[in-house]
Structure 1
Amino acid sequence: MTADPIAETVAALLPRAKAELAELVAFRSVADPAQFPVGECEAAAAWCAGALREEGFEDVAVLDTPDGSQAVYGFLPGPEGARTVLLYAHYDVQPPLDTDAWISPPFELTERDGRWYGRGSADCKGGFVMHLLALRALRANGGVPLSVKVIVEGSEEQGTGGLERYAEAHPELLAADAIVIGDSGNFREGVPTVTATLRGMTLLRVRVDTLEGNLHSGQFGGAAPDALAALIRVLDSLRAEDGSTTVDGLEAGQRWEGLEYPEADFRGDAGVLDGVELIGAGSVADRIWARPAVTVLGIDCPPVVGATASVQSSARALVSLRVAPGQDAAGATELLSAHLRAHVPWGARVSVEQTGQGQPFLADVRSPAYTAMADAMRVAYPGEEMQSAGMGGSIPLCSTLGSLYPEAEILLIGLSEPKAQIHAVNESVSPEELERLSVTEALFLRNYAAG
């Protein structure tokens, strides 16, 4: 690390940051009451609000958003006439998945092999702690030179749009000159990276019905239409032979211009098994940053253990489509829905329900805020220059903020580099990355205030 006083302060504050992240990770804040009690998210929101109050924020509020979740807001006034920067993170997390596959408990921050493990440690409770570290470092070195707004979302992982709709109804709340979204990640550890593009997303629940009830597969199989088999055929129609996404009418041949992602590196980052081919065509960067991608997230059907010899009367799946930058998520949703309906065989009945949607995002990396960020990264990562990459995931709020505040500059940084394994078992954060990016954000705020 550099010898800049900001960096020295962040390093000294890191033990406190670890203790706070451990407290925050302990909340099982999955924004789905079918999996975890609502009280877990409410407790996490209260913790974030308390942290902002402790840092001197004014107007701290826990906001009830239209999807039933809570967002935490706070305002820290700066010098008269100073610029305003909005800092974003989210406290809700993905479910832990297979808890037996975690080496340490998912909701207990555990240090191992130089990393801190726990659900949300990188995505994105660590992002909130990063904001706190940056602000504390500034306060200890002359003060925070601009006004700061913080918003911490409570349902980002569900894609249900609570904060987006709240912001649209209260457009003055999050207005700022620049916005730092602390929910992306470096291309890899030690490579300072801003995320220039995000894919959008849509979630559809598709159900196929063929019979009034399940039937004995010996007595009726061979003539009775199997709903599960019909659903499998529908889902298979979403991919070409090479695995490329094929949704009728949806463009899927876009190209990525910028930082490339070597296939060997991607295979290692993704943990692709030896002998297993990657899917799709074009470069890896084309496939994960520039093109749409469909994924079957889940299927409701009988488990293998306990299954009976039956023809299934009904089957259901949850389908995700990552929407390419430059495409309209609403239009992509319509195309995907029409595709699912059109490809159901045997005249089976089909219903399609949308459960989530978010627009893609494209940043202007030549703006003054990005220059300030590049200067900050050059100091926090000695010998390195800021890189620009895409991210295949979605942060629906970005497009909403871009529409509400077209003059604001939106920057995406964060802790979700490949080793973090966000959304998977054994998610972790690198404390070195937390330290460097906290320094980066503090220096950026100082640079941007002076610009």
Structure 2
Amino acid sequence: MIDIGKVLPAARAALEELVRIPSVSAEPTEDVRRSAELTAALFRGVGEPEVEILDDVPGGRPAVLVRYPAPPGRPTVLLYAHHDVQPAGEIAQWSSAPFEPIERDGRLYGRGTADDKSGIAAHLAAVLAFEGDPPVGVTVLVEGEEEISSPTLGALLTRHRDRLAADLIVLADSENLERGTPAFTTSLRGTAACVVELRTLATGVHSGGFGGPAPDALSTLCRLLATLHDEHGDVAVAGLETGPVPDYDYPVSRYRAEAGVLDGVELQGTGDVAERLWAKPAVSVLAIDAPPVATASNTLIPVARAKIGLRVAPGDDAIQAATALAEHLSTHTPWGARVSVTVSEIAQPHHVDTTHPAYAAARRAYRKAYSTDVTEIGSGGSIPFVAEFAAAFPAAAILITSAGADTDSNPHGIDESVDLAEFGRACHAEALLLAELGRDRLRRDDRGSR
């Protein structure tokens, strides 16, 4: 019998202690190392694990590796989270200090409460539930650079492959779409962003003396950007794929409210919301370099640039998708303008195999903790490290779930928070998952090269 209530106070205290450290990986200070050291210390106090701070990959931020070796014949579970966070942004806009956790109306507020220090605390709660002696092998990897797109994670996974090998990898960095209902994220879109630059004139010239025959770069750029979608709002870039759609009913009214779509504004594209958001590619114009209105003169603009973000559907390849986007921009540039396209970001999409036997155990555990069945959802965003783990450990099952984050958590934004009841259910579910896997006795060699 798992008494999760007994360990939740310690897990919450650990979460609050972690939130107090401003471990912003984009600004590599001693705070990132302090966060890693605290994470290591929290697990050293639970049983007798092997604990090490990993900082042996050139250019990488410190990560934490914790290992509870598997009892004979039992599987090993790798629990992932990250201890780095986004900058707080405009502190004056927060309702309370971003790095001082505070509870309001059943939610704990502070930077990192949801993304992803709740993941660390949930993993801690799971081993605390067994007093540091879990029924299966448990490896905990807490990364320190996820918020800067995990640039050295691949190298770290390669270097420590033997110590990280597992039957099931639990990535606690997603969200539940509804409080009280557990969700497994089974598909993720990838990213292929680029910067396109157009040149039409050698220099800026007077719009009265030369306007008309001479194309200005900004108008030319606008016409090019308009070719990225068809008349329905679907992406018009040839060669992009559509992925499988999770079986989830996403009401249009709910989506409009959550996205803040203004009354009277139509949604782009065709198909239901889940298909458009999770299974289809999406193109967005993220930025344009242009003179500000306040200082503009009557001058034809000779050069203009835009940053374009492409969300790549599960099952597609981000590199091929980036090539398709670049070819579209090059071949649809009007009036013979000189065009250059520079790819700036690549992250592969991913689709999870949910037929692995570990998923049956996971569904049982989460159903018991939440008293309702699991839903399978997609993510319109990208989590680059998922593809890294899949490439490094192709035989392992991957479970992407929430450690308490929900649609009100506002990760990366002002007043980030985690629902404490949801956090408690996530801790309970993870402990139950370890118990279920211990009973199943699934081993890597049971399925050969799966």
Does 1:171 pair with 2:168? no
Residue deviations 1:11-66, cap 9 Å, x none? 33354144224324x33x143xxxx4555544444443444444454251233546
Over the aligned positions, Cα root-mean-square deviation in angstroms equals 2.8
CA distance 1:315–1:173, shift in 2 (3 Å): farther
Q: Secondary structure at the match of 1:419?
A: coil
* Segment of structure 1 superposing worse, 391-400 or 429-438: 391-400
Residue identity opposite 2:39 in structure 1: C
How far has the Cα of 1:104 moved from its partner? 3.6
**How far apart in 1 are the matches of 2:168 and 2:72?**
17
Q: How does 1:43-192 map to 2 (within 5 A)?
A: 43-55=34-46, 56-65=48-57, 68-96=60-88, 99=91, 101-139=93-131, 143-159=133-149, 161-168=151-158, 170-192=160-182
Q: How does 1:385-400 map to 2 (within 5 A)?
A: 385-400=373-388
How far has the Cα of 1:448 moved from its partner? 0.9
Of 330, 336, 341 in structure 1, the residue corresponding to residue 325 of structure 2 is 336
CA distance 1:409–1:351, shift in 2 (3 Å): same
Residue deviations 1:326-377, cap 9 Å, x none? 1122211211121222233333333323333222222232322111111211
Q: How does 1:50-449 map to 2 (within 5 A)?
A: 50-55=41-46, 56-65=48-57, 68-96=60-88, 99=91, 101-139=93-131, 143-159=133-149, 161-168=151-158, 170-215=160-205, 217=207, 221-222=211-212, 224-252=214-242, 256-382=245-371, 384-414=372-402, 415-449=404-438
**How far apart in 2 are the matches of 1:413 and 1:219?**
61
How far has the Cα of 1:92 moved from its partner? 3.4
Residue identity opposite 1:133 in structure 2: A
Q: Secondary structure at the match of 2:161?
A: coil
Q: Secondary structure at the match of 1:239?
A: coil
Among all aligned residue pairs of Structure 1 and Structure 2, give the percentage whose two residues are the same amino acid: 42
Residue deviations 1:287-341, cap 9 Å, x none? 1111111223333334445555544343333322221111122211211121222
**How far apart in 2 are the matches of 1:67 and 1:346?**
45
How far has the Cα of 1:413 moved from its partner? 0.7
Q: Secondary structure at the match of 2:114?
A: coil
* Segment of structure 1 superposing worse, 182-191 or 232-241: 232-241
Tell me, which stretches of 5 or more residues in structure 1 are unaligned?
Answer: none
How far has the Cα of 1:278 moved from its partner? 2.0
Instruction: Report if aligned partners of 1:89, 1:152 keep a CA contact under 8 Å in 2.
Output: yes
Q: Secondary structure at the match of 2:239?
A: coil
Instruction: Report if aligned partners of 1:21, 1:126 keep a CA contact under 8 Å in 2.
Output: no
Instruction: Report if aligned partners of 2:240, 2:316 keep a CA contact under 8 Å in 1.
Output: no
Instruction: Report if aligned partners of 1:52, 1:60 keep a CA contact under 8 Å in 2.
Output: no
Pairs aligned (count): 438
CA distance 1:357–1:44, shift in 2 (3 Å): farther
* Segment of structure 1 superposing worse, 172-181 or 356-365: 356-365
**How far apart in 1 are the matches of 2:316 and 2:84?**
27
Residue deviations 1:113-135, cap 9 Å, x none? 32223333212222222212222
**How far apart in 1 are the matches of 2:112 and 2:330?**
36
**How far apart in 2 are the matches of 1:106 and 1:218?**
52
**How far apart in 2 are the matches of 1:47 and 1:218?**
65
**How far apart in 2 are the matches of 1:398 and 1:180?**
10
**How far apart in 2 are the matches of 1:213 and 1:286?**
45
Residue identity opposite 2:198 in structure 1: V
How far has the Cα of 1:181 moved from its partner? 0.4
How far has the Cα of 1:435 moved from its partner? 0.9
CA distance 1:47–1:312, shift in 2 (3 Å): farther
Aligned to 2:448: none
* Segment of structure 1 superposing worse, 370-379 or 396-405: 396-405
CA distance 1:405–1:380, shift in 2 (3 Å): same
* Segment of structure 1 superposing worse, 182-191 or 64-73: 64-73
Instruction: Report if aligned partners of 1:66, 1:165 keep a CA contact under 8 Å in 2.
Output: no
Aligned to 1:22: 19
CA distance 1:215–1:373, shift in 2 (3 Å): same
How far has the Cα of 1:80 moved from its partner? 3.9
- TM-score normalised according to structure 1 size: 0.86
CA distance 1:304–1:97, shift in 2 (3 Å): farther
**How far apart in 2 are the matches of 1:370 and 1:249?**
33
Instruction: Report if aligned partners of 1:46, 1:62 keep a CA contact under 8 Å in 2.
Output: no
* Segment of structure 1 superposing worse, 103-112 or 180-189: 103-112
Residue identity opposite 2:81 in structure 1: A
CA distance 1:191–1:102, shift in 2 (3 Å): same
**How far apart in 1 are the matches of 2:204 and 2:93?**
34
Tell me, which stretches of 5 or more residues in structure 2 are unaligned?
Answer: 441-450
Task: State the structure with more CA Rg.
Answer: 2
